[in-house]
Every structure is written in structure tokens, then in C-alpha cells.
Amino acid sequence: MTTAPPPATAPSRPAIEVDVIMRREPVSGPMSRWQAWRWVLADVLPRRGPEDTALAPGDGVQEPQAVEPVNGTGDTASRHWLFPACRVELFRDDAEGYFLNLSSPQPCFWVFWRADEERLIDGEPMAVPQIVTLSYHDAGRWLDAQERVDQVPAPTEVVEWLRGFVAEHYQAEPKRRQRPDSFKPLTDRFGQPVRISTDKPRGGMSPAGEGHGR
């Protein structure tokens, strides 16, 4: 009896794990009349080196943890929450999105987050990260869909890791040669094609309005 070979495993994507820190801070100024608090992205911290590119898929976002302020300013009004082990993957078909990120003045992480009605802080929904990406295209799609997206600068080691991936997989689209104007069809002011004849005039009136004589 012949046993069937084990199914081939799909190649793992380059990936890193990061901790996302969200900050809940008081709103100042006139806006505080309608909204006392707001959530913003405080930081994204790689928890493993970029060389670890074969991480096993996780079970989703783990339970958040209250942490001290990451900026060390002693801001006692704001509160920080750490969401551990968020996975950041790189996809070959999105190499252009990573290239555009690297082409910006400051390459960054983008975090797409939503208010979770089932996790409340002082009776208000907690901001929970959904996806962390390094793709300019991902961030653009989320913003177009009116989702909440924040960004923070990516550290040097992550930028270099991303640069290596882009160098291997990104190919710029070849520029199409512009068609010379001489090949463009001529049209009149109504947009209708114009026919140009190179035949010499036969008969008819002379420029002076007289018929051609012998």
C-alpha cells in the first residue's frame, strides 16, 4: 500500500512581531465640551529582530496591558495601553506600497484601529489595533474607507529590513513611450476627423477668381 506524500506547506512570509502602544489623553480647548478624552497611537515597538522571518501565525491581538508613559514626560493625565505581539507581514504583490513608504521623508508604521464597545475604560470604548502595516497602499485604502489610521516612524532596523525586501521584489513599471503629436489624428473644432488631400487642384477657380485658361 502506497501512502500519499504529506501536503506541501506554503512558504512563510517575511514578518516581525511588534507591540503597539495606544494613549488615552484628555482633550483640551473648545473640543473638550463634546469630547473629554481621545485615543492616539503612541508607539510601535519591534519585539523581535527583523531577521526572524518565519514566525508562526498568532492567535490575534492579545490582552492589553496598562503601562507607564513611553515618552517619560511624567504626564499623569494620560494613560497608556500596550497591545502585545501584533504581526507585521510583507507581501510580494504589495512591494510598490513598501517602496512608496521608503520613498517618503520618514518611513513609518501605520496602525488601523477601532473603538471596541466590549472593552470599556471609564465607561468609554477602548481603542484596539486591528492591523499594523508598512504599506503605503494599505494605509491609503483604510483612509479612503474612513477608518481610523495613525502612524509613527519606523526604527532604523525595520527600515533596512524593508529596504532589503523591496530591493528583491519591487520592479518599477516601465514608462510608456509617448506617441508623437504627428501621429495624433487631426480633428476640426467639432471633433470630427479632418481629411487632408495632397492632390494638385484640377480645374476650378484661380486664386484671383478667374477660370484656368489655356
Q: Is the pTM of this model over 0.85?
A: no
In a domain, 191, yes or no: no
User: Domain limits at 66?
Assistant: 15-169
* pLDDT per residue as tens digits for the range 4-49: 555 544 457 899 999 999 999 888 777 667 777 889 999 999 986 5
Rounded Cα–Cα distance for residues 13 and 91 (Å): 7
Sheet holding 65-67, edge to edge: 37-46, 15-26, 79-89, 65-67
Give the start-end residues of each E strand in the chain.
Answer: 15-26, 37-46, 65-67, 79-89, 108-121, 124-133, 148-153
The answer to whether position 56 is within a domain reads: yes
> Is 72 a member of any domain?
yes
Residue with cell 495613525: 150
Which among 110, 113, 119 is positioned nearest to 88, based on CA atoms?
A: 110
Report yes or no on 37 lying in a domain: yes
Which pLDDT tens digit goes with each residue over 147-186?
Answer: 999 999 999 999 999 999 999 999 887 666 665 555 455 5
Number of domains forming the structure of the chain: 1
- Classify residue 61: in a domain, yes or no: yes
Give residue 201's identity as a one-letter amino acid code: P
Phi-psi region of 99 (alpha: psi -120 to 50; beta: other; left: phi over 0): alpha
pLDDT score of 197? 54
**Higher-scoring residue by pLDDT: 31, 86:** 86
Q: Report yes or no on 85 lying in a domain.
A: yes
